[in-house]
Structure 1
Amino acid sequence: MNSMMSGERPVVDGRALSVDDDGVVLVDGRRPAAGDGLGRALARSVVGDAIPADARERAITVDQTNISVIVDERLVVKIVGRWAAADRAAILLERLADAGSGDVDRLVGRVGWRHPALGESTVAIVTEYLPGADDGWTWAVDDVVEHLATGTEPDWPALLGTRIARIHDVLGRTATPSGTRAPEARRARADDALARALSSADPADGAGGARLHNRRESLARDIRSLDGTAAGLEFPIHGDLHVGQVLASPGVDGRRYTVIDFDGDPQLSSDDRERADAAARDLAHLLVSLDLVAAVAQRRVGRADTRAFEWSDRAQAALLAAYRAELSRPELFDEALVPGFRAEQLVAELHYADRFLPVWRYAPDAAITHRHRPTDDHPEAPWTPPPFAPTST
C-alpha cells in the first residue's frame, strides 16, 4: 500500500516536513531521527492501525545516507535525507515486488510527497524487518574466520550468484542498447578512479602507497581491456552491490539471504546513480567484496593467511558459475567487462577509504596486492593486517 502527502509543509502526526534550499528533508526544522515519532507516523500512513499509535521506534545503527528506523520490531522505515534520494530504490523495489521476488527485502509500501515547487518524490520506503539479521560484513567474515579455523566451506557464494541472476532477470526486462560510446565512457570513468587513487598514495611510503604504485600498470591493463568490449545492454542495476548489502536472517530451512539498498553508488552524483549500467558492474562489485571479506577475516585472526584469498578464488568462481546458470537472458551479462570493472572498484574502495574511512584502507590494499602483479619500481613491505578492533570496520 502506498500513501501520498501534498503541500510545501505537509503535517504528519503533528510534525511539519520541509525541504531546505540544499534539498535536505527536515521535520520541524531538524533532521529526522529515530524516536521522534516520524518513522512510526509514516509507517501508519501506509499500513494504518496495524501499527499501534505508541509503537516503539529504534534506529538502525550504521552509517547511512538516509535515516532508517525500526518500527514495532516489524517494519523498517527508510526516510530520505535529501529530496528524491529514494526515488530510484522505490521504483526498483516495486518492480521486483510486482515480479514476486523473494530475493530482496519485501516492500510494504512507500510514502510519496507532491511538492508545489519540487514535483513528486518518495519521502519514505517501508519494508519488512528481519529479526536476527546481520549484514555480510558480519556473517560472511564470521564464516571465513570459521573456514580458516576448521576448513568448513561456506555454500552461500553460489546462493548469492543465483539470487543476483534472478534480480537481474527482473530488472533487465527494461534493458536497452548501451550506445556505441559506452566502452569509451567506461574506460574514462575507470581511468579517473585509478588517477584519484594514485594521486593520494605516496609511492615512497614503503607500504600501501608503494604497493599501489607498483601495481598501477597491472590495474591500468585491466582497465584498458574495457576499450575492446562491446557496448552491450544496460538497465537499472543495483549499483552498490557488496556483501554488506546482503542480510542473512534465520529462516525455516537455515539462513535466508536478502538483498537490500537499491539507492545506487553513494560515491556517484545523483544523476550518475540514476543512469542504467551493465550487469557486469554489479557482479564485479560483489566479487571485489569477497576479496574484502578475505582481508577483514585476516584482520580478525591477526595475521596474513593466503588461505583466505584461496577461499575467495573458489567463492568467486562458484558465484559466477551459479549466476551464469540461473540467468535466463545471458545477453545481459558480458563477462569481458568484469576485469576492468573490478580494477575500477578496487581503486574506488581506496578512494572511499581516503575520503571517509581511513581505517578501511587495509582491505582494498590487501585485495590489490593479492590480485595484481607488481613491478619493483618502489621498495614495498608485504601486506599485513592491522590490529583487530571490533568497531572499526
Structure 2
Amino acid sequence: MSWIDGAVGTGERGFDVDQTNHSVVVGERVVVKWLTPPVPLPAPAPDMFAHLTSVGFTATATPYAALSRRADDGSETLLALVTAYLPEARDGWEWCVDEAVSFGTSFAADLGALSADLHAAMATPSATFPDPVRTAEGPWSPRAGEALEEALALTDGEDGEWLAAHAGALRADLAPLAAAGATPLIRIHGDLHVGQLLRWRDGYAVIDFDGNPTVADAAPLQPAARDLAQLTTSLEHVGQVAIRRRDADPAMIAEWALAARATLESAYSDRLAELGHAELLDRSLLRPFEIEQECRELVYAARHLPRWRYAPMGVLRSRYR
C-alpha cells in the first residue's frame, strides 16, 4: 500500500452511476474506488498516476493511495484506489447529455485540449516511464477482428440479425488496420469516454486509468488515435442517451454530434501541435478504431450492462443506413 499524506473525514456515500467498480465518497474529502473484482499487479492505474504526477499533469483527481494485498506466494492484488474528491463534480453521462439537448458544443474544445494535454504528458519522460514513446506497427487488425466476432456472437435478437447482415461492411471499415504502417505509440488512457471526464467546480478532470474492461492483456503502448476514437464515439453515445431518455429529436442530435465531434477533433489537433506533439496522431487509424470501439461497446453491454446495447446499436444503425 502506498500513501500520500492527506486527511480523511468521516461519513461516506456511494455513487449512483453505472460502473464496473464500486466507488465511495468519504467525508466529502476522498473517493475510494474498490475494484470489483480486484486485479493482479502490476496494473495500469498506479504507474499512470505516478507518471502523470511527476510530469505535472494536474487535470485529474489527485491520487492519494493504492491499497493492495500480498498473497503467500508473493503475488499482489490491487484492491482499491484513493483519490481526491472533486466538489460539485458531475459525470459526463449527465452534463454532456444536457449539452446535447441544448445543442451546446463549446465544451468539446475543452475536452479536445484536455485529451491532447493528457497525451502530451504521457509522451513526456519520467522516472516511471523513462522511454514513453515508441514507433512501431500493430498488429491492430487481429484485436479489432476479434472484437467484431465477439460482438456478433454475443448480440442476439433483432440487433444480432442486423449486425450479422452488416458484418461485411463492418469488416471493410476495419480492413485498413491490416495495412497500417508504423505509428507513434504511447501509454494511453485506454477507456477514454465522456463518463471518465468530470465537470466540477474548477473545470474538467479525467479519471479512471484502469484500461478497457473488455480487453484482456492489452499492450501497454498504443496509438493516441485509440483514445481519440473512443472519446469521439462517446459523443454519439451521448446523443443516443439524449434521444432515449430526454426525447431529443434524432435529426437535431445527429447534427449536434457531428458539430461536437468536429470541434473536439480540431481542438485536439491544434493543442497537440501547440505542444510539439502533432506526430502522435495517426488519422488513418481513427475510423477503424471507432468501429472497433462500437463492437467493444456491444461486448461490454453483453457482459456487464445489457440495457446499454441501444447506444452502440443506435450509432451503428445511423452509420450504416
Shorter-chain TM-score tier: 0.7 to 0.9
> What amino acid does structure 2 have at the position aligned with 1:250?
R
Following TM superposition, by how much is the alpha carbon of 1:339 offset from its aligned partner in structure 2, in angstroms?
0.8
Report the counterpart of residue 180 of structure 2 in structure 1. Answer: 229
Q: 1:90, 1:108 → 2: CA distance?
A: 10
Q: Secondary structure at the match of 2:230?
A: helix
Q: 1:79, 1:318 → 2: CA distance?
A: 35
Q: Contact 1:190 / 1:344 at 8 angstroms: preserved in 2?
A: yes
Where do 1:208-357 residues align within 5 Å? 208-251=159-202, 256-269=203-216, 271-272=217-218, 275-302=220-247, 305-327=250-272, 328-357=276-305
Report the counterpart of residue 94 of structure 2 in structure 1. Answer: 138
Following TM superposition, by how much is the alpha carbon of 1:51 offset from its aligned partner in structure 2, in angstroms?
2.8
Q: 1:67, 1:302 → 2: CA distance?
A: 30
Q: 2:75, 2:307 → 1: CA distance?
A: 41
Report the counterpart of residue 59 of structure 1 in structure 2. Answer: 14
Q: 2:310, 2:77 → 1: CA distance?
A: 39
Following TM superposition, by how much is the alpha carbon of 1:210 offset from its aligned partner in structure 2, in angstroms?
4.3
Q: 1:234, 1:264 → 2: CA distance?
A: 16
Residues 125-164 of structure 1: CA deviation (Å, up to 9, x unaligned): 32110122111111101111122xxxxx331111111001
Kindly indicate whether residue 42 of structure 2 is the aligned counterpart of residue 92 of structure 1.
no
**CA, structure 1 residues 126+201, in 2 after alignment: closer, same or farther (shift >3 Å)?**
closer
Q: 1:46, 1:106 → 2: CA distance?
A: 10
Q: 1:59, 1:295 → 2: CA distance?
A: 26
Report the aligned-residue RMSD.
Answer: 2.3
Q: 1:279, 1:159 → 2: CA distance?
A: 18
Kindly indicate whether residue 56 of structure 2 is the aligned counterpart of residue 108 of structure 1.
no
Q: Which has the higher contact order (CA 8 A, sep 6+)?
A: 2
Report the counterpart of residue 128 of structure 1 in structure 2. Answer: 84
Following TM superposition, by how much is the alpha carbon of 1:331 offset from its aligned partner in structure 2, in angstroms?
1.8
**CA, structure 1 residues 47+56, in 2 after alignment: closer, same or farther (shift >3 Å)?**
farther
1:369 to 300, 312, 317: 317
> What amino acid does structure 1 have at the position aligned with 2:226?
R
**CA, structure 1 residues 311+64, in 2 after alignment: closer, same or farther (shift >3 Å)?**
closer
% identity of equivalent residues:
37
Matched residue pairs, number? 310
Q: 1:79, 1:178 → 2: CA distance?
A: 35
Q: 2:71, 2:4 → 1: CA distance?
A: 19
Q: Contact 1:70 / 1:77 at 8 angstroms: preserved in 2?
A: yes
Q: Contact 2:49 / 2:63 at 8 angstroms: preserved in 1?
A: yes
Q: Which has the larger radius of gyration?
A: 1
Following TM superposition, by how much is the alpha carbon of 1:201 offset from its aligned partner in structure 2, in angstroms?
4.4
Following TM superposition, by how much is the alpha carbon of 1:114 offset from its aligned partner in structure 2, in angstroms?
5.5
> What amino acid does structure 2 have at the position aligned with 1:235?
I
Q: 2:66, 2:296 → 1: CA distance?
A: 32
Q: Which shifted more, 214-223 or 234-243? A: 214-223
Q: Secondary structure at the match of 1:263?
A: coil
TM-score by length of 1: 0.72
**CA, structure 1 residues 322+107, in 2 after alignment: closer, same or farther (shift >3 Å)?**
same
> What amino acid does structure 1 have at the position aligned with 2:170?
L
> What amino acid does structure 2 have at the position aligned with 1:248?
R
- Structure 2 unaligned segments of length 5 or more: list them: 125-131
Q: Secondary structure at the match of 1:100?
A: coil
Q: Which shifted more, 212-221 or 288-297? A: 212-221
Q: Secondary structure at the match of 1:82?
A: strand
Q: 2:228, 2:118 → 1: CA distance?
A: 12
Q: Contact 2:101 / 2:242 at 8 angstroms: preserved in 1?
A: yes
Q: 1:46, 1:360 → 2: CA distance?
A: 37
Following TM superposition, by how much is the alpha carbon of 1:324 offset from its aligned partner in structure 2, in angstroms?
0.8
> What amino acid does structure 2 have at the position aligned with 1:164?
S
Following TM superposition, by how much is the alpha carbon of 1:236 offset from its aligned partner in structure 2, in angstroms?
1.6
Please list every run of at least 4 consecutive aligned residues from structure 1 whose deviation after the TM superposition is greater than 6 angstroms. Answer: none
> What amino acid does structure 1 have at the position aligned with 2:25?
I
Following TM superposition, by how much is the alpha carbon of 1:90 offset from its aligned partner in structure 2, in angstroms?
1.2
Q: 2:166, 2:225 → 1: CA distance?
A: 23
Q: Secondary structure at the match of 1:199?
A: helix
Kindly indicate whether residue 24 of structure 2 is the aligned counterpart of residue 73 of structure 1.
no
Following TM superposition, by how much is the alpha carbon of 1:247 offset from its aligned partner in structure 2, in angstroms?
0.7
**CA, structure 1 residues 122+141, in 2 after alignment: closer, same or farther (shift >3 Å)?**
same
Q: Secondary structure at the match of 2:38?
A: coil
Q: 1:344, 1:232 → 2: CA distance?
A: 18
2:112 to 161, 164, 170: 161
- Structure 1 unaligned segments of length 5 or more: list them: 5-44, 148-152, 375-393
> What amino acid does structure 1 have at the position aligned with 2:16?
T
Q: Contact 1:79 / 1:124 at 8 angstroms: preserved in 2?
A: yes
**CA, structure 1 residues 304+216, in 2 after alignment: closer, same or farther (shift >3 Å)?**
farther
Where do 1:5-24 residues align within 5 Å? none
Q: Contact 1:112 / 1:122 at 8 angstroms: preserved in 2?
A: yes
